[in-house]
């Protein structure tokens, strides 16, 4: 029945002279997600609207699912498109459409017309009344309600005529790439993919960094992170995943620093490496999945101690989320199942029974002095040997 979709977008509407940049980014990303969908699609801008038109056979459900993953879209309206063959034909087609779309006629409605083509013989008000009476004529059981209708029959008169009455909620946010790029610290857990998703939602492109520690972490753990990155990229577009071998640094910390400070010190070096890679790759910030108090390394003191090494902004979109709230999002975006696969990640392998929960930055720094002789070399080796995976 539907051969086209009208794409509604929110915040880009108010971006003034930069608006076309945002619209183009949105059009590009729509094209990108539709590449994997069965069917031929034409995506075009027309007078403040984006239309997705189909040619021939296509998979409706798959198309909707793909469009729902595009940031910047607030609503997807399946549209019936018709040639302008006079009002009678237009009214008949509209009645047929409503009959098919609403088999159960137990609802109230109103017609809301927009006449973009000003030479159409009827004006908007006339269309509302005339079409409304045709509909009531066809289905006497349904009622008009101009204030709180169950169904709003929207009509747009352009070169062709467009009729729609449903709006499927979109992902919201901003079109991808309209707000620069940031580096996501991606572990194999539940939180970091969600954090990446949330920042990407605001139009930020993403690269990711993963720290692995063979033989303490396995290739399967790494594969799991690749899989997670792939799921996030369904929303956030293509990304680069930097895999850093962290083993030697971890062992050096283990050898030379107090064991209850291992995790904090380790995270500080992870941040430093991530920051280095971020700068090299034109990222404007770091993204982590930290949430206050979730574990010992995420108390305010620990966050402060970790943050102290960063000169770049660190975005922590989950900072006030409860675990269950994070899980809900991860289930919704489809990362949960992968995240809970039981492979050890490098944050847990040497974790102390009683790690410090209120680290003092000065004490941590003093402990790090024990690494002075080796750490620069180890950091350089880790950065030089980084593996880049295109997702």
Partner 1 sequence: MEAYLDNSATTRCEKQVADLVTTVMLKDYGNPSSMHKKGMEAEQYVKESSRQIAKTLKVKEKEIIFTSGGTESDNQALLGVALANQRAGKHIITTQVEHAAIHAPLAVLEEAGFEVTKLPVGRDGVICLDQLAEELREDTILVSIMHVNNEVGSIQPIEEAAKLVKERAPKAYFHVDAIQSYGKFKVSPKQMGVDLLSVSGHKIHGPKGVGFLYVNEKVKIKPIIFGGGQQSGMRSGTENVPGIAGLGLACQMAYENLAEKQKHLFKLKERFCRGLLELEDVKINGTWQETAPQIVSGSFVGVRSEVLLHALEDKQIYVSAGSACSSNKPSPSKTLLAMKVPKEELVSTIRFSFSHHTTWEELEYTLQVLREVLPTLRRYTRH
Does 259 engage in binding with partner 1 (CB under 8 A)? yes
Q: Rank residues 81 and 367 by Cβ distance to partner 1 and give the closer one.
A: 367
From candidates 1, 42, 352, 388, binder to partner 1 by CB under 8 A = 352
Contacts of 366 (CB under 8 A, 6+ apart): none
The distance of closest approach from Cβ of residue 339 to partner 1 in the complex, given in angstroms and rounded to an integer, is 16
How far apart CA 221 and CA 226 sit, in angstroms, is: 9
- The region that residue 115 occupies, defined by phi over 0 for left and psi between -120 and 50 for alpha, beta otherwise, is beta
Indicate the burial class of 54 (C-beta count within 10 angstroms; 0-12, 13-18, 19 or more).
Answer: buried
From candidates 21, 116, 138, 251, binder to partner 1 by CB under 8 A = 251
The distance of closest approach from Cβ of residue 288 to partner 1 in the complex, given in angstroms and rounded to an integer, is 24
The distance of closest approach from Cβ of residue 354 to partner 1 in the complex, given in angstroms and rounded to an integer, is 9
> How many chain residues are in contact with partner 1, going by CB under 8 A?
16
C-alpha count within 13 angstroms, C-beta hemisphere, residue 276: 14
Q: What 3-state class would DSSP assign to 43?
A: strand
Q: Rank residues 179 and 338 by Cβ distance to partner 1 and give the closer one.
A: 338
Of 183, 209, 194, 227, the residue nearest 343 (C-alpha): 227
Residues in the chain: 391
Angle between helices 19-34 and 60-68 (to 10 degrees): 140
From candidates 86, 121, 140, 215, binder to partner 1 by CB under 8 A = 215
Does 223 engage in binding with partner 1 (CB under 8 A)? no
DSSP type of residue 216: T
Binding mask 127-146 for partner 1 (x = CB under 8 A): --------------------
Q: Rank residues 17 and 353 by Cβ distance to partner 1 and give the closer one.
A: 353
Does 374 engage in binding with partner 1 (CB under 8 A)? no
Do 56 and 40 contact (CB within 8 A), yes or no? yes
From candidates 312, 351, 386, 389, binder to partner 1 by CB under 8 A = 351
Of 137, 47, 59, the residue nearest 92 (C-alpha): 137
Binding piece for partner 1, criterion CB under 8 A, among 15-23, 159-167, 213-221, 370-378: 213-221
The distance of closest approach from Cβ of residue 381 to partner 1 in the complex, given in angstroms and rounded to an integer, is 17
The distance of closest approach from Cβ of residue 251 to partner 1 in the complex, given in angstroms and rounded to an integer, is 6
The four Cα atoms 189, 191, 193, 199 give a dihedral, to 10 degrees, of -160
Of 61, 70, 82, 101, the residue nearest 3 (C-alpha): 82
Do 257 and 265 contact (CB within 8 A), yes or no? yes
Does 154 engage in binding with partner 1 (CB under 8 A)? no
The distance of closest approach from Cβ of residue 59 to partner 1 in the complex, given in angstroms and rounded to an integer, is 32
From candidates 217, 263, 298, 335, binder to partner 1 by CB under 8 A = 217
From candidates 28, 93, 129, 218, binder to partner 1 by CB under 8 A = 218
Does 350 engage in binding with partner 1 (CB under 8 A)? yes
Does 342 engage in binding with partner 1 (CB under 8 A)? yes
Binding residues for partner 1, rule: CB under 8 A, are: 214-219, 251, 254, 259, 342, 344, 349-353
């Amino acid at each position: 029945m539907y051969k086209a979709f009208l794409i509604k977008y929110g915040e880009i509407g108010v971006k003034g002279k930069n608006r076309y940049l945002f619209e183009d980014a949105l059009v590009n990303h729509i094209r990108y997600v539709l590449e994997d969908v069965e069917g031929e699609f034409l995506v075009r801008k027309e007078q403040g609207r984006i239309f997705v038109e189909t040619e021939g056979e296509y998979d409706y459900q798959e198309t909707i699912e793909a469009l729902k993953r595009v940031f910047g879209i607030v609503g997807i309206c399946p549209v019936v498109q018709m040639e302008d063959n006079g009002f009678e034909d237009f009214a008949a087609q509209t009645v047929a459409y409503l009959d098919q779309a609403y088999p159960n006629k137990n609802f109230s409605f109103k017609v809301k017309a927009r006449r973009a083509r000003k030479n159409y013989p009827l004006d908007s008000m006339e269309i509302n009344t005339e079409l409304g009476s045709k509909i009531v004529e066809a289905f006497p059981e349904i009622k008009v309600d101009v204030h709180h209708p169950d169904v709003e029959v929207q009509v747009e008169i352009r070169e062709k005529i467009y009729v729609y009455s449903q709006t499927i909620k979109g992902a919201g946010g901003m079109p991808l790439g309209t707000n620069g790029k940031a580096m996501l610290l991606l572990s194999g857990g539940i939180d970091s993919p969600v954090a990446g998703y949330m920042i990407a939602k605001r139009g930020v492109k993403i690269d990711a960094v993963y720290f692995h520690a063979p033989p303490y972490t396995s290739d399967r753990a790494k594969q799991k992170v690749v899989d997670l990155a792939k799921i996030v990229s369904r929303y956030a577009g293509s990304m680069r995943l930097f895999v850093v071998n962290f083993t030697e640094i971890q062992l050096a910390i283990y050898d030379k620093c107090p064991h209850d400070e291992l995790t904090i010190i380790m995270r500080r070096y992870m941040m430093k490496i991530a920051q280095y890679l971020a700068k090299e790759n034109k990222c404007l910030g770091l993204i982590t999945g930290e949430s206050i108090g979730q574990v010992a390394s995420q108390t305010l003191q620990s966050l402060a101690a970790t943050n102290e090494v960063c000169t770049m902004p660190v975005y922590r979109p989950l900072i006030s989320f409860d675990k269950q709230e994070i899980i809900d999002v991860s289930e919704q975006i489809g990362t949960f199942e992968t995240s809970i696969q039981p492979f050890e990640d490098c944050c847990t392998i040497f974790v102390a029974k009683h790690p410090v929960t209120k680290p003092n930055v000065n004490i941590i720094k003093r402990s790090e002095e024990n690494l002075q002789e080796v750490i620069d070399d180890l950091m350089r080796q880790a950065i030089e040997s980084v593996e880049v995976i295109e997702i």
